[in-house]
Amino acid sequence: MSERFLSDGGDFIHESLQNIKPGEQENITLKLENREIQSEQVLVAAGAWSHQLASQLGVKIPLETERGYHVTLNSKEGGPRNIVMEAVHKFMATPMEMGVRFAGTAEFAGLKTPANQTRAEILLKLGKKMYPQLEDGESSDWMGHRPSLPDSRPVIDFCPNNKKIIFAFGHGHRGLIGAPMTAQLVAELASGKKPSIDISAFNSTRF
């Protein structure tokens, strides 16, 4: 997909976006770390940081970062053969190429608070309790930010202040499974087509 994007004339710019500023002209100014670029259309799909960009455009979105953790144990022997959910503590055990991954928890602690390593340690402890035959090995942990909204529905909509800006964020726990349909809806909005489904439930002014 990325190769097709590039072959069609697209470009990847790996810089931090500082500001979005709709200009008096038709174009929108994007201020990056080292330069400014002009764009006819902008898609705001910045995950847990999206509400900060929306705020620059005068739109208040009550998005919260629902932080999740996983720990990967570099050992497979004695572990699960399929994805298993532990019903009491609500975490997942997933067999991976490199070993077994235990993932779960929901933590509301914002974007800047350091990761709570205790949560990863608890996941590993519960995982070993679930699979007592699992061999010991090296482990690595990770923390990520889920962009979550109060009603558990994403925002997929034009910016109410500028129809050249499209919002697509707030999928919470369902980012991966929601991505294909969201991409289709965004493409339809960007090209001026009628969305293939009713997207009124995802509007940005519902809060």
Question: Could you give the C-alpha distances from 130 to 29, 119, 141, in angstroms and in order?
Answer: 53, 16, 18
Q: What is the pTM of this model?
A: 0.89
- Domains of the chain, by residue range, sit at 13-63+151-202, 66-148
CB-based contact 109:85 (threshold 8 Å): no
| pLDDT tens for the 207 residues of the chain, in order | 889 999 999 999 999 999 999 876 689 999 999 999 999 999 999 999 999 999 999 999 999 999 999 999 998 889 999 999 999 999 999 999 999 999 999 999 999 999 999 999 999 999 999 999 998 889 999 999 999 999 999 999 999 999 999 999 999 999 999 999 999 999 999 999 999 999 999 999 999
CB-based contact 100:79 (threshold 8 Å): yes
Q: Which of 18, 45, 28, 39 is nearest to 155 (CA)?
A: 45
Q: Quick check: helix, strand or coil at residue 150? A: coil
Residue 70 backbone phi and psi in degrees, to 5:
-145, 155
Give the residues across from 19 on adjacent strands: 31
**CATH hierarchy code of domain 13-63+151-202:** 3.50.50.60
Q: Where are the alpha helices (DSSP H) in 8-116?
A: 50-56
First to last CA, the chain: 35
Half-sphere exposure (Cβ direction) of 121: Cα atoms closer than 13 Å: 4
